[in-house]
Amino acid sequence: MFKHLYSFLFVLFLLLSNSIFAQRFAFDATIKAKDINNFPLESASIKLFDHTSGKLIESKTADKEGGALFNLEILSGTVYRIDIAKEGYITKKIIIDTKIPGIERLKYGEYGQKFVVKLDKGNQADNLIKPYRKIKYFSDIKDFNDDRNYIPGNDALPSNTNNQNVSNPTKPNDTKYTDAIKKGNDLLAQNKLPEAKVAFNEALIAKPGDKMAKDKIAEVDNKIKLAEKAKADEDKSKLDAEAKRKADEKAKAEAAANQRKYENALAQGNKLMAAKQFELAKDQFQNALIAKPDDKIALQKISDANRELAKGDELKRRQLKVMETLNLANALLKQNKLPESKLKFQEVLAIDPGNKDAAQKLKEIEVRQADTQKSKNDSKKIAELIARGDKNIAKENYPEAIAQYNEALKLSPNDKTITAKINNANTNLNSKKDKLYARAISNGDQAMRGKDYEIAKLEYERALALKPSDKYPKSQLKEVNRILLEMAKTLEEISKLSKEKASTADVEYLKDKQLKQEKLKVMKKEQEYLERKMKNLSTKYDTENPITKLYNVVDLSEKNKK
């Protein structure tokens, strides 16, 4: 019986030993560098040192989120230092003490924390050479955290690792804090905002976490933003005022010139009317009408001149003038000189208000002017649509390009150039779909050979979406679904086996239990593998319709090469 007991204890010792020595004794420290407005500082320099020797261990550049990850070994109990720096900002340093009591080190082997470090704008200060913050292990929480009793610049470790009832041997430099606050207030009163912010930052360094210093920094930042906004508003107001002034001057000058032409023409016309030179007077009144279109006085003067001209042989002269003016108006209309033609038809109606030909032609001119304006607008719109379509063609965004070309074709249905662009885009789109279909089939087959069934399913679904009538992806999907179903059943069997409870009273059954445990260990490894594979389906790949995500298809073959 003792022999069996010793065997059992030996096996138990081996299991515990394997569990302990397979454990990873490390602390993953993620540093997030941000500015005081909580925006990430991409490309910030983040360096890891051995704080005792000062030796550089590792140097990293912050990613777009301002982050960098360091894997710190625990067993050695090294004291590390991390320096966070970026040009234009004040550098900050952190101490990380990895010393952990031995028994807890074995019990809790792997840790991870994220620490946000905010940098202030400004130049490097001498008193920032020393660290401002310390991270250490606390037995009461079984994890790493900030040492609230740490004094910035003091590298000595408190004797109580539980961080409870630890006295503070040194007080912050109150004099330095008070001087910095006073200096900042004086500079703030003088509206020297950048200098005031530097002073308040010095106060915050002297007394970290101080509410007054933080409030003062926030006040300065707010005033800087308000000052910048006020300056921008002032500059914009000046530019707007100057633009308005120039536009007003131009309009005023044009109006004054037209007014002078109008007044001179009226004056000359009146003199000629007094001299009974009615034809010449009428010409002057028409010049006045050109300078000020639709002017009632000029129209009336023309009418007066016509009336005087009509005296003597009124009917004959009227008919002759109407005919001449109507012929001139029609000639101008044929030359597409619409404004000049319109004036002449108006003159005809001034002489003969009941002239149906002139009234009809005036309506035609108004329609043509409207059509001309619409044609100009349509031409501009067509050019814009074609330009956007061409840009999308360059980006291989064929569906969007086709939509824009079709909009242009609605405005110009018989445009052969637009039609050719649409046909070319459709050809390229179909070619792109064929390439994507071939890629999806290739990726799916490769995944099947590598037993990555969930990836294979995704790729065959993409291929089927591109060519719904193709039989090959359908048959492959059917096979993948069958394999995934068998995998799910395997997971269910593993789950049932792990829930079995063996009785420790029967020694013979104990051997059987040991065999089952060995089998269970093997199956658990398989379970972990299957679960990782199943999770990939929702975390690694985009499962949206491949037609709508035409340019985001995963190139599996290229990824496997890497």
The pLDDT tens digits of the residues spanning 505-535 come to 444 555 555 555 655 555 555 556 555 555 5
Q: Do residues 325 and 344 touch, judged by C-beta distance below 8 A?
A: yes
Distances in Å between the Cα of 267 and the Cα atoms of 11, 302, 305, 367 are: 124, 13, 14, 35
pLDDT by residue (tens digit) across 64-85? 887 888 777 665 668 888 988 8
pLDDT by residue (tens digit) across 349-408? 898 898 989 899 888 888 987 877 777 788 888 898 999 899 899 888 888 899 988 989
What gap in Å lies between CA 67 and CA 34, rounded to an integer? 9
Q: How many alpha carbons lie under 13 Å from residue 144 in its C-beta half-sphere? A: 24
Residue environment code for 176-204, b if the CB has 16+ CB neighbours within 10 A, otherwise e? ebeebbebbeebbeeeebeebbbbbbbbb
Question: Which of 94-103, 180-189, 318-327, 357-366 has the weakest average pLDDT?
Answer: 94-103
Burial of 315 (0-12, 13-18, 19+ CB in 10 A): exposed
Task: Name which of 87, 107, 105, 100 is nearest 33 in CA terms.
Answer: 87
pLDDT by residue (tens digit) across 228-286? 899 899 999 999 999 999 999 999 998 999 999 999 999 999 999 999 999 999 999 99
What gap in Å lies between CA 464 and CA 482, rounded to an integer? 18
Burial of 208 (0-12, 13-18, 19+ CB in 10 A): middle
CATH topology of domain 15-170: Immunoglobulin-like (2.60.40)
Task: Name which of 334, 333, 354 is nearest 344 in CA terms.
Answer: 333
Q: How confident is the model at residue 166 (pLDDT cuts 50, 70, 90)?
A: very low
Residues whose CB falls within 8 Å of the CB of residue 281, separated by 6 or more in sequence, listed in order:
268, 269, 270, 271, 272, 273, 301, 305
**Is the confidence at residue 162, as pLDDT, over 50?**
no
End-to-end Cα distance, the chain: 58
How many degrees, rounded to 5, is the angle at CA 25 between CA 20 and CA 30? 150
pLDDT value at position 140?
Answer: 72
How many degrees, rounded to 5, is the angle at CA 191 between CA 187 and CA 195? 45
Q: Tokens for 220?
A: 């300065």
Please list the residues that pair with 113 across neighbouring strands. 29
Torsions phi, psi for 31 (to 5 deg): -105, 130
Q: What share of the chain is helix, strand, coil (3-state, %, to 5)?
A: 65, 10, 25
**Is the confidence at residue 346, as pLDDT, over 80?**
yes
Q: Do residues 304 and 273 touch, judged by C-beta distance below 8 A?
A: yes
Q: How many alpha carbons lie under 13 Å from residue 275 in its C-beta half-sphere? A: 11
pLDDT by residue (tens digit) across 413-441? 888 898 998 999 889 888 888 888 999 99
> Inter-axis angle of helices 453-466 and 507-539, to 10 degrees?
30
Task: Name which of 448, 430, 443 is nearest 550 in CA terms.
Answer: 430
Residues of the chain with CATH 2.60.40.10: 15-170
Q: Do residues 75 and 105 touch, judged by C-beta distance below 8 A?
A: yes
pLDDT value at position 331?
Answer: 92
Distances in Å between the Cα of 47 and the Cα atoms of 51, 69, 93, 113, 126 are: 12, 11, 10, 17, 19
79-85 vs 55-61, strand pairing mode: unpaired
Question: Which of 134-138, 198-202, 476-480 has the weakest average pLDDT?
Answer: 134-138
